[in-house]
Structure 1
Amino acid sequence: MKTVKVFVKTSLQGPCIRDGRYAAVVEYISSKGAVTREISGEEKETTYNRSVLLAVIRALDLLKMACSVTVYTDCIFVKNTAERGSLEDWRRSEWKKAGGGEVKNRDLWQQFTELADRHEIVFRFSKHNDYSHRLTELLEAGQ
């Protein structure tokens, strides 16, 4: 199984809803050597959590075969939600929270779970990484 690292950054921080950008660098080794692929995008009236999810989904979408993926992010909410079984609980409860309310960003969580079913994914908390500068450049290029 191919080992892949995904490094994620967004232009948003905090709970505010505003226009935001996201970027990710996907790194893996191919038969021809080290490969890095970059993605970036934007969404109007979005949130920090939604931007992180979009970056992760777009990065996972690049992978055409099952991979062992490590996602580096500074978003504790997305990391914890993906790792602590919440997604499976939500899926079983038809995307309702324990209190009966709708899961926020349901559309993205559903896309993430479909992609995650294909891969072995772990998350690592990381504010800074080898691609921090490049991710910042990608975010600024779209503004």
Structure 2
Amino acid sequence: MSDTDKKTVIVFTDGACSGNPGPGGWGALLQWNGQEKEITGGAPDTTNNRMEMRAVIEALNALNQPCHVKIHSDSALIVNAFKQGWVDGWLKRGWKKTNKKPVENRDLWEEMLTAMQPHDVEWIKVKGHSDNERNNRVDRLAVEASRKFQQS
């Protein structure tokens, strides 16, 4: 399938954690052709970064065909890792950062790279907790999902 034949899907993702580490949740909003789909999940003992990453992975895995995906995230770590080429450097150095320390959450970075493979992914950084309604919406989804894992 050529790039011009691919559907363009707009995705907003966010993660939340009550404590870091602690109970966490993630949320994603997928929009295509006037339709929307919300997906959420979480974990009882996780970190905010892991939930941010899980949201992206699950959004990509929810797509049933190769797409042009515009991922909007307020995670500077995720957006910069791709837009500034950090992931390429980590791969060249065997999953080590420039300071020779191992990259945190390698398992999820690898899972994300696999989930990205069929797609043409465009990364868009959005300001968190601001006036972006769709980002605020996925933030609410992530917080609600995290509550399911908190002790009552």
TM over 0.5: yes
Tell me, in whole angstroms, the C-alpha distance in 2 between the residues paired with 1:82 and 1:137: 25
**Cα deviation per residue 1:23-66 (whole Å; 9 max; x = unaligned)?**
1111112xxxx221211111232222111100000000011222
TM-aligned CA distance change 1:142 to 1:53, over 3 Å: closer
Q: What TM-score comes out, normalization by structure 1 length? A: 0.83
Structure 1: 5+ residue stretches without partners = none
Tell me, in whole angstroms, the C-alpha distance in 2 between the residues paired with 1:130 and 1:28: 14
Tell me the equivalent position of 1:58: 58
Tell me, in whole angstroms, the C-alpha distance in 2 between the residues paired with 1:80 and 1:37: 26
Tell me the equivalent position of 2:100: 100
Tell me how large the CA RMSD over aligned residues is: 2.2
Structure 1 stretches of 4+ with a deviation exceeding 6 A read none
Tell me the equivalent position of 1:47: 47
Structure 2: 5+ residue stretches without partners = 1-5, 148-152
Deviation at 1:10, TM superposition (A): 2.3
Q: Percent identity?
A: 28
Q: What TM-score comes out, normalization by structure 2 length? A: 0.79
TM-aligned CA distance change 1:21 to 1:89, over 3 Å: same
How many residues are matched? Answer: 138
